[in-house]
Structure 1
Amino acid sequence: GTFLSQIKNDVSFLLAGRYLIFLEHQSTPNENMPLRCLYYVCEQLRKTIDSKQIYMNQRITLPVPEFHVFYTGGVNTPEEYEMKLSDAYAEASNAVNLELKVCVHNVAYDEAKLLLGRSAAMRDYAMFIQYVKVNMARGMEREAAIREAVRYCIEHDVMKDFLIEHEREVIDMVAFEWNQKLFEEAKFEEGLERGREQGLEQGLERGREQGLEQGRVFAVLGMLKEKLPLEMISRVSEMSVEKIREIGRMHSLL
């Protein structure tokens, strides 16, 4: 129950006085998690250890840290994999003097996943996120999709007590993590900018037109990779659903 009771925040806690465990929930992959966890653990130790102690001769006993990320997004990743701080180092070296490992758990809902089979709390949360995605795929705005998922889960006894007590916090948290409108606009503008740059480099009107069109394709590909509904992509990109399907098939995304 610890995960659900702290769902509105990243979580860190001592287990039997030994383990300092950091948990974070994410809906998009982040390659900087080892670095973020390094910040987390340093900040936590600064809070719990008197700064005067580090200048004393006697060794300070430290809790053994663990770092876990629970991923619920749509990008296909292994069910469990490891990220290392050393992967980000500018130069590879056999002698790594500072290492930090993060265990990433893909808990996007799938009945076959081992972790979801072992943890009822994680399974229920993964189901809740899945209901949000399904509602959005049906064309609902994000907050409406979250509210409907909350209503459905309460009605079907999925995280019922927790959602009744923390409904407003859950809606705010999930909506904050990924603002759909801003995300769509950013993806589209990013694609357009890339297209404009291509056109300007060519220095020809035809090149600019081709660049803008290529930018629209970049934007569509980005939204397809995030598994947004085709109707939504069509509305944002002003391309027909048929054209979007064609682009998706050409790039093995549909």
Structure 2
Amino acid sequence: MQSGIEVSQETLNGQQPLTPNRTYKSTIFIMIFEDRKNLLELYNAISGKHYEDPELLQINTLENAIFMTMKNDVSFVIDARLSLYEHQSTYSPNLPLRFLLYIASEYSCMTADENLYGTRTVRIPPPKFVIFYNGEQEQPERKILKLSDMYQKSGSSEDGEDVEPVSLELRALMLNINKGHNETLKEACKTLKDYAEYTDRVRKYSKEMALEEAVERAITECIREGILKEFLLKNRAEAKFMSIFEYDQEKHMRMEREQAYEEGWDAGQKAGEEAGKEELLSFLIQRKLAKGKKLPEIAEALEMDEETIRGLMEKKELNKKTI
């Protein structure tokens, strides 16, 4: 299964820079867990099962061009259940909606040859949605993200509860896999533990040195210490490039959020200052109106044109009889 990156032989030999195929998202997480053995190990750790045959997995990660904009990280069927796994280095409350789009596409493909208008029930595997989070924003060990939390509230009771029951719900389990979190799960899946350790080192070293050097150091150390050793030895060039690409993307998104926050703060301050000036001016106009001053007198006293004063009086519905 493709990992979403095109790497030529010249690239692997170091003769030209790596270039990502950006047709759909690809990450180290995908590269690792598209391997059936690793994916089965992860499934067993999540479900508490003890399957041993990786061929039991029917992997059906969305790769069709129609679904490229909705491509999830890993989805597969085993034991008549459909599991959709997503890795996130940035927390997003919109994941339930994304999962809804994913599962709709999956079910559409699964039932393409079925008669959905017939009288016979079309059986579909029940889904399970899991998010593996390793971002820098603090998050709990486990968290349930619900589609209903995204709904616009049209009507609610006095205690804030919806009057009408939710007709469509989707629950996704988010697991924090950063160091010190969900250690029992990671002990049950060494590959997940190794992945978390590798990404933690990249993040740590990138704060001390250039990103490319940080990734190279993390890869060298992990191979020496038996962390993702087989994967990194086999895919060293691609893994290095993908790690740099991922971290740059994560950093870019973080900087964009910070910039948007700063711009929003500045705009809010400016809007607040303007609103404050308007309120002060309205107060002064009202006081002069109370003293029987006419529009021309108010404008002269406040050193402003009459149209501005008139407009504010109409907007604030001040005493219009004195105009």
TM-score, normalised relative to structure 2: 0.55
1:154 correspondence with 2:223? yes
Q: Which residue does the alignment assign to 1:30?
A: 92
Q: Following TM superposition, by how much is the alpha carbon of 1:167 offset from its aligned partner in structure 2, in angstroms?
A: 2.7
Alpha-carbon spacing, 1:188–1:61, altered in 2? closer, same or farther (3 Å): closer
Alpha-carbon displacement from aligned partner over 1:129-169 (angstroms, at most 9, x marks no partner): 1111110121332x432232122111111010011222344
Q: Which residue does the alignment assign to 1:19?
A: 81
1:75 correspondence with 2:137? yes
Query: Quick one: which of 140, 156, 169 aligns to 1:99?
Result: 169
1:4 correspondence with 2:67? no
Question: For the Cα contact (< 8 Å) 1:111–1:117, is it kept in 2?
Answer: no
Question: For the Cα contact (< 8 Å) 2:198–2:219, is it kept in 1?
Answer: yes
Larger Rg: 2
Greater share of helix residues, 1 or 2? 1
Q: Secondary structure at the match of 1:28?
A: coil
Q: Following TM superposition, by how much is the alpha carbon of 1:52 offset from its aligned partner in structure 2, in angstroms?
A: 4.7
Q: Which runs of 5+ in 2 are unaligned?
A: 1-29, 36-60, 62-71, 154-161, 275-323
Alpha-carbon spacing, 1:62–1:195, altered in 2? closer, same or farther (3 Å): closer
CA distance in 2, matches of 1:184, 1:139: 19
CA distance in 2, matches of 1:65, 1:154: 36
1:133 correspondence with 2:196? no
Q: Which residue does the alignment assign to 2:102?
A: 40
Q: Secondary structure at the match of 1:53?
A: coil
Alpha-carbon spacing, 1:116–1:93, altered in 2? closer, same or farther (3 Å): farther
CA distance in 2, matches of 1:169, 1:60: 42
What do you get for the CA RMSD once the two structures are aligned? Answer: 2.8
CA distance in 1, matches of 2:182, 2:104: 37
Q: Which residue does the alignment assign to 1:218?
A: none
Aligned counterparts, 1:111-130, within 5 A: 113-130=183-200
2:203 maps to amino acid: K
CA distance in 1, matches of 2:112, 2:268: 56
Q: Which residue does the alignment assign to 2:244?
A: 175
Name whichever of 45-54 and 187-196 sits farther off. Answer: 187-196
2:34 maps to amino acid: Q
Q: Percent identity at matched positions?
A: 28
1:10 maps to amino acid: D
CA distance in 1, matches of 2:258, 2:167: 42
Question: For the Cα contact (< 8 Å) 1:109–1:126, is it kept in 2?
Answer: yes
1:6 maps to amino acid: E
Q: Which residue does the alignment assign to 2:282?
A: none
Question: For the Cα contact (< 8 Å) 1:19–1:63, is it kept in 2?
Answer: yes
TM-score, normalised relative to structure 1: 0.69
Alpha-carbon displacement from aligned partner over 1:168-198 (angstroms, at most 9, x marks no partner): 4433443343426634652453354235425
Q: Which residue does the alignment assign to 1:228?
A: none
Count of residue pairs the alignment pairs up: 201
Alpha-carbon spacing, 1:84–1:200, altered in 2? closer, same or farther (3 Å): closer
